[in-house]
Amino acid sequence: MSTPYARLRFAPSPTGPLHIGNARTAVFNHLWAKSMGGLLVLRLEDTDTERSKPEYEKEILEGLTWLGVEWQEGPDIGGPRGPYRQSERTAIYQHIIDKLMEKGAIYRCFCKPERLEDLRRRQNESGLPPAYDNRCRSISPEESQARADAGESFTLRFRLPAKVIDFRDIIRGEMAFDHTSLGGDFIVRRSDGSFTYNFACVVDDVKMGITHVLRGEDHLTNTARQICIYEALKAEPPIFAHASLIMGGDHQKLSKRHGATTIAEMRRDGYLPEALFNFLTLLGWSPADGIEERSRTEMEKVFDGRRLNAAPAVFNQDKLDWLNARRIRDLSDERYLELARRYVTEKSVGNAALLLFKEELSCLSELPGRISMISSPPPPSEEELAEIKNWPESRTVLKDFLRRLRAMSDFTPETMGAMIDEFKASGIASGKKLFWPLRLAVSGSVKGPQIKDLLYLIGRDNLEKRVVEFLQKI
Ligand code: GLU
């Protein structure tokens, strides 16, 4: 049955947290569905009962919602083609299994785990890839039935046709897999009665009327296997798109070594969902006009599935930080303060101090470190200290600042501002020779926010104390 509109799906397995790679797949599916005026189905592939956990399911749904991915049918909201959790679809799968069994497309395999292990070991020793040798294919239907009736344990395997299996991938073009490269007849139902991914996935994609399947390229060989199931079911396969892998900056597969890789971690680190959504969109896709910075709704308008890219996507941390910094700057002060307070809980830190750093944060978790330059600055780095010591002006500049500070009668933002203007105009030094010694002395860093505001927030006594101490060091 053909559907009048595009129906896409995102089908995570709740066997772990939501990772960058899967989140990117979800974002692409969201955008592609929207750009075609279609809808997105969220399906939980929880047939692996050992590894699937309700807490992961919760984390995945929360992560997707936070990110801004929207689905129109799913386990939480229902829909006309549910249920949307595979563990609740057993009767549907069993019905299809019976039909395939009748047709001879699947058969019982009585091989014991020890035999399969032995087979794998021997293949490994001969340098061959692991593959089932299809031994139980030749068991007659009568014998197969008799052994099952006698209570012998069995799995069900799909009979792979002896041919080259081909399909078109809209990102990669024509794909072809010889049946011999697919590891032999594969299991569709385990001996404990649970169904495997390749089987359940196809049944669901057919029953849920899925028109486009976009997933990671690690599923390419699965797609070849799945194509065979479509054929056996006489169902039309969807359009396939396999997004490229995500690599770290070192061009190795993205992993823990590269830092935060789950959405929950990125959220904790203070990345904003708007920035992360934008960033994920660019991992394997690019807009025709080259404009990379866009809101979610703008992306929905310009996204074009045909521009998905086959080259590996490289996770560019600098780009993410840049996008995030821009989005932090765009926040209203009210929203910024609300988020900032999750990172800085000390009541003694006022809103003015938090706002001082709004323009220069790459992510919100930097805030406690940055704020410390007001309350208890870190010691200056050796290099910065050495550089400042080298300049003959440094001591004069600091002594002049101290003199002006001591001479101030009032200490307000305005008087502090005026004092700095005069200090600048005095000609004692200019540019970094004027401000670096001062910044290093009072905040432990030569870089920082607006000097006037910073100085005012540090406070008169602290300024004096820090400059005096610093003069003893240089
Ligand atoms: N549950 C599979 C996964 O998380 C889904 C793959 C697919 O989209 O078909 O990798």
Considering only CA atoms, which residue is closest to atom 4 of ligand 1?
Answer: 12
Task: Note whether 308 and 28 are within 8 A (CB).
Answer: yes
pLDDT tens-digit series, residues 89-128: 999 999 999 999 999 999 999 999 999 999 999 999 999 9
CA distance readout (Å), 372 to 14, 266, 406, 460: 40, 23, 24, 17
pLDDT tens-digit series, residues 69-91: 999 999 999 999 999 999 999 99
Query: Under 8 Å CB-to-CB from 24, ≥6 apart: which residues?
Result: 243, 246, 280, 283, 284, 313
The angle formed by the CA atoms of residues 81, 86 and 88, to the nearest 5 degrees, is: 80
Burial class (CB in 10 A: 0-12, 13-18, 19+), 305: buried
Q: Phi first, then psi: give them for residue 473, nearest 5 degrees.
A: -85, -25
Q: Are strands 39-42 and 7-10 parallel, antiparallel or unpaired?
A: parallel
Give the nearest ligand 1 atom to 9 CA: 8
How many C-beta atoms surround the C-beta of residue 213 within 10 A? 22
Q: How far apart are the first and last CA of the chain?
A: 81
User: How many angstroms separate the CA atoms of 7 and 281, rounded?
Assistant: 20
How many C-beta atoms surround the C-beta of residue 325 within 10 A? 19
Give the nearest ligand 1 atom to 213 CA: 8
User: How many angstroms separate the CA atoms of 84 and 74, rounded?
Assistant: 6
User: How many angstroms separate the CA atoms of 184 and 159, rounded?
Assistant: 8
Task: Assess if residue 330 is contained within a domain.
Answer: yes
Task: Assess if residue 326 is contained within a domain.
Answer: yes
Q: Does one domain contain both 289 and 332?
A: yes
Per-residue pLDDT, 67: 98
State mean pLDDT over 152-156. Answer: 98
State mean pLDDT over 368-382. Answer: 92
Token representation of residue 459? 């406070």
Per-residue pLDDT, 180: 94
Q: Does one domain contain both 297 and 266?
A: yes
State mean pLDDT over 218-222. Answer: 97
Mean pLDDT over each residue of the chain, to the nearest integer: 95
CA distance readout (Å), 434 to 326, 370, 382, 388, 398: 29, 22, 19, 10, 9
Q: Does one domain contain both 424 and 411?
A: yes
Instruction: Give the pocket of ligand 1 (CB within 6 Å).
Output: 11-13, 45, 201, 215, 219
Ligand 1: distance of its center to the CA of 399 in Å? 66
State mean pLDDT over 416-431. Answer: 94
**pLDDT over 80 (residue 1):** no
Q: Does one domain contain both 365 and 381?
A: no
Q: Does one domain contain both 274 and 361?
A: yes
Task: Assess if residue 66 is contained within a domain.
Answer: no
Q: Does one domain contain both 297 and 349?
A: yes
Residue 442: CATH number of its domain: 1.10.10.350
Please choose, from the candidates 86, 429, 37, 68, the residue with its C-alpha nearest in 3D space to the C-alpha of residue 273: 68
Give the nearest ligand 1 atom to 215 CA: 8
User: Positive or negative CA dihedral for 108, 93, 196, 234?
Assistant: positive
Task: Assess if residue 271 is contained within a domain.
Answer: yes
User: How many angstroms separate the CA atoms of 156 and 273, rounded?
Assistant: 44
Please choose, from the candidates 250, 207, 210, the residue with its C-alpha nearest in 3D space to the C-alpha of residue 96: 207
- Tell me how many domains the chain contains: 2
* DSSP collapsed to 3 states, 77-139: CECCCCCCEHHHCHHHHHHHHHHHHHHCCEEEECCCHHHHHHHHHHHHHCCCCCCCCCHHHHC
Query: Which of 213, 219, 221, 242 has most ligand 1 atoms within 8 Å of its beta carbon, as the pocket-test mutant?
Result: 219
Q: Does one domain contain both 422 and 467?
A: yes
The catalytic residues are 256
The angle formed by the CA atoms of residues 23, 295 and 286, to the nearest 5 degrees, is: 65
Q: Does one domain contain both 361 and 382?
A: no
Considering only CA atoms, which residue is closest to atom 5 of ligand 1?
Answer: 11
Structural domain harbouring 263: 256-373
Query: Which of 19, 201, 230 has most ligand 1 atoms within 8 Å of its beta carbon, as the pocket-test mutant?
Result: 201
Per-residue pLDDT, 139: 97
Per-residue pLDDT, 2: 45
CA distance readout (Å), 98 to 134, 156, 226, 346, 386: 20, 11, 18, 64, 79
Give the nearest ligand 1 atom to 45 CA: 1
State mean pLDDT over 273-281. Answer: 98
Q: Does one domain contain both 318 and 391?
A: no
State mean pLDDT over 30-35. Answer: 97
Per-residue pLDDT, 455: 97
pLDDT tens-digit series, residues 285-300: 999 999 999 999 999 9
Task: Assess if residue 455 is contained within a domain.
Answer: yes
Query: Dihedral of the CA atoms 439, 441, 446, 452 (nearest 10)?
Result: -10
How does residue 350 score in pLDDT terms, banded at 50, 70 and 90? Answer: very high
Give the nearest ligand 1 atom to 25 CA: 8
Ligand 1: distance of its center to the CA of 450 in Å? 49
State mean pLDDT over 253-264. Answer: 84
Task: Assess if residue 456 is contained within a domain.
Answer: yes
Task: Assess if residue 302 is contained within a domain.
Answer: yes
Task: Assess if residue 40 is contained within a domain.
Answer: no
Which of 254-268, 344-358, 401-415 is predicted least confidently? Answer: 254-268
Per-residue pLDDT, 3: 47
Whether pTM > 0.85 for this model: the answer is yes
Residue after which a domain boundary falls, among 320, 344, 373:
373
Task: Note whether 320 and 275 are within 8 A (CB).
Answer: yes
Ligand 1: distance of its center to the CA of 201 in Å? 8
User: How many angstroms separate the CA atoms of 162 and 59, rounded?
Assistant: 42
Token representation of residue 316? 């560019």
Q: Does one domain contain both 369 and 263?
A: yes
User: How many angstroms separate the CA atoms of 83 and 73, rounded?
Assistant: 10
Ligand 1: distance of its center to the CA of 168 in Å? 19
Q: Does one domain contain both 361 and 410?
A: no
- Cα 107 from chain centre: 40
User: How many angstroms separate the CA atoms of 145 and 108, rounded?
Assistant: 9
Residue 355: CATH number of its domain: 1.10.1160.10
Ligand 1: distance of its center to the CA of 46 in Å? 10
CA distance readout (Å), 442 to 205, 369, 379, 398, 413: 63, 15, 10, 10, 17
Query: Which of 9, 41, 197 has most ligand 1 atoms within 8 Å of its beta carbon, as the pocket-test mutant?
Result: 197
Q: Does one domain contain both 290 and 333?
A: yes
Q: Are strands 39-42 and 106-109 parallel, antiparallel or unpaired?
A: unpaired
Q: 349 in helix, strand or coil? A: coil
Q: Are strands 173-178 and 155-158 parallel, antiparallel or unpaired?
A: unpaired
Residue after which a domain boundary falls, among 325, 344, 373:
373
Show contacts of 347-350: CB within 8 Å, 24+ apart.
Answer: 348/375, 349/374, 349/375, 350/457
Residue after which a domain boundary falls, among 353, 373, 393:
373
One-letter amino acid identity for 442? V
Ligand 1: distance of its center to the CA of 26 in Å? 11
